[in-house]
Amino acid sequence: MTILLSELYGKQIISNTGKKIGFVEDIVLNFENGVVSSLLLTKMDDLMRSANTARMLAQNSVLYERVKNVSETIIVGSDINK
């Protein structure tokens, strides 16, 4: 399935159990592999200002490999970072 990155921004992320997780604020790309790595629930600029960037990144991201479906919302498996 091909999807434009611009189509992901602002979409609500929901777990497959129905838990509302947040909205896509930013995206992390893996340029070496040419894939989306993570969906961020906070803008990257805000995370970079944090004293503990790595912890904040882990708490405010969803690994893209957990995505099950993208439509009006993004459905992810329940074993996500958040």
Tens digit of each residue's pLDDT, the chain (82 residues): 678 999 999 999 999 999 999 999 999 999 999 899 999 999 988 777 877 888 888 889 999 999 999 999 999 997 544 4
Q: Which phi and psi angles does 77 have, rounded to 5°?
A: -65, 155
Q: Which phi and psi angles does 53 have, rounded to 5°?
A: -60, -45
Task: Please report, for the chain, the start and end positions of each structural domain, with discontinuous segments joined by +.
Answer: 5-76
In this structure, the number of other CB atoms found within 10 A of the CB of residue 21 comes to: 16
CA angle, residues 60, 7, 40, in degrees to nearest 5: 10
**CATH superfamily name and code, 5-76:** PRC-barrel domain (2.30.30.240)
What is the reported pLDDT for 3?
Answer: 85
Q: What is the pTM of this model?
A: 0.85
What is the reported pLDDT for 1?
Answer: 64
List the one residue out of 60, 76, 70 whose CA is nearest residue 27: 60
